[in-house]
Amino acid sequence: MTNNKPTEILFFPSREVRVVPKGWPHPQSADEPVPVLFEDMPGVEGLTAEQTEIAAYETSTYGTPLSPFFPNTPQGRLQLIEYCAENCTTWGYEKAGGEAWAAILFGKGAVVDKDGVVIANDN
């Protein structure tokens, strides 16, 4: 018996964007970043986008940065996606392109328009 239903592939990325105050250094021990839980990250309430930065973090342990920090702007989001596509893995040793990273970091259906603006599908 064959099933003609489309196959749905479930993907549980252990990657997320974290927003921090501009210039905040992620804690280090020797040359390694110290894991920081999301709830232990510095607060950004009341800060404008210009006063914050973004980075990709892994969440399979307690949270260490996968990328440097980028400006919290459309161009910075594009730079983060490009950095991750070039330098980061999605899981284990698996890599992905920019479209996949846009979806992983900014939501299902996220795209990058011709001006480099990341448009997230928040539905």
10 band by pLDDT with thresholds 50, 70 and 90 = very low
Name which of 17-26, 68-77, 109-118 the model is least confident about: 109-118
pLDDT tens readout for residues 95-113 = 888 888 888 898 765 666 6
Q: What is the pLDDT of residue 49?
A: 95
pLDDT at 41 over 90: yes
pLDDT at 55 over 50: yes
pLDDT at 29 over 90: yes
Of 8-17, 71-80, 105-114, which one has max mean pLDDT? 71-80
5 band by pLDDT with thresholds 50, 70 and 90 = low
How would you label 13-31 residue by residue, b for 16+ Cβ within 10 Å and e otherwise?
A: bebbbbbbeeeeebeeeee
- 20 near 41, Cβ under 8 Å? yes
pLDDT at 7 over 50: no
Nearest partner of 66 among 54, 76, 57, 77, judged by Cα = 57
